[in-house]
Structure 1
Amino acid sequence: MEVKQAFEYFGLLEDQFWSTLDERTINHITYEGELKPHDMLLYGEFGFALIGLKPSVLVEFRDPVVNLLYLETVIQPVLFALKEKTLNYHIVKDTKTPESDLNGCIFIYSIVMATNLPELSTVLQATQKFISEDTMATILDYPGHLPRSEREIPTIKTVLYFHNKPNEELIALTSFAIQDSEKEATLSHFKRYFTTCKEKLGIDLKLLIQ
């Protein structure tokens, strides 16, 4: 299966995954309805990794059982069908960030980048039980950072990249935090993503900074 086909196949399987979940499970993994399934789709993040933009994608559904189901019904079938084996996956054990416990979460990662990016190889080798937010930003290819002090809290911005489908509701593909001083870097980052996604996946992206 070629890249664009694999991207579309992932989206199809992801839709099927959500349709098979019972209401109780959906309520739990969406933080009691605080989020919507529509906002938790990972096909865009997967596409970014598939075309060499992102070193890795984090699958984090608040429940290791659901993570595993997603692995078996979405990730594995697509990686198996992919003609060029450029991606692999890693199940996280006993590792934390300042924001969350990643035990049972899954990284979908670029095999090439795992050999060239020390931060990613360290995570995959599980040699450290704590991952800093800066390391997470590097391996997830986020061009900004969370506040590192009280002084940076007022200057934080949220960035969203949307899938801009004609005559349809925008679908959030990724979101991350930046500081005011990182706006120019973010605009360059978005331009690179926009151009590559248009060329290799045939989709348009839209940017929102708020």
Structure 2
Amino acid sequence: MSYFIIFIGVVVAAYFKIKEENKEQIVPLDDIIVPAQKNYTKDEVLGMIEVVNEYDDFEDTSSVYFNNVSIDNYKYIPFYTEKIGDFVCHNHIGISFSIFNGNIFLDVYSFDISEMGLAKGDEIKFIFDNNEKLFLTFTNARINNGYTKNNHILLSPEELNLFCENKIDKWKLISSRRNVYTVGDNSFFHKECMVQNKELCQEVVQYLASKIRILFLNTRNLNIN
């Protein structure tokens, strides 16, 4: 068991090293020039999403992640955290999924929310539409990219299946150090996001999770063969 824990620690540490060396540059939504909002279809939103495969010859590491998720150059689906009247603020968290060296990760982002730092020891919790719950804790230090912070949680195939087969009803992000939290149910969206309703948001989450599940199974089958 101790060797397994050490192995997982090495894998996660390598993952964060590569992420730190390839910091994404997120452009604030205020600085993005976009055409007037239109109603995008499911096919249009999913068709925009890019699957990125990367291999580092020097580190001998491989990774798979997404890009252009609902907004150009966004690697995650935004979950907005506040609505005042008819205005939705830019502050949001975001989730996505990735594979690093054959391991599945839940990728969590925090955009311009100083209290929600995604620090080691912080928690993210999900309640699904079948009342099943998934509580996860960040076990590594976050990556700070200026406007965004991000962190990554190792997922089992069974945990990934929850996102593939169920719809997220509510989520809660907890800062253990600051003793504060933010919650959401994906019921409102910023005007510059291609996703404008909870149903389509859920379609994107399930698409991302299911795509990673397929890629993970393909990779595992190749390794077995």
TM-score with structure 2 setting the length: 0.26
Structure having the larger proportion of residues in helix = 1
Structure having the larger proportion of residues in strand = 2
TM-score with structure 1 setting the length: 0.27
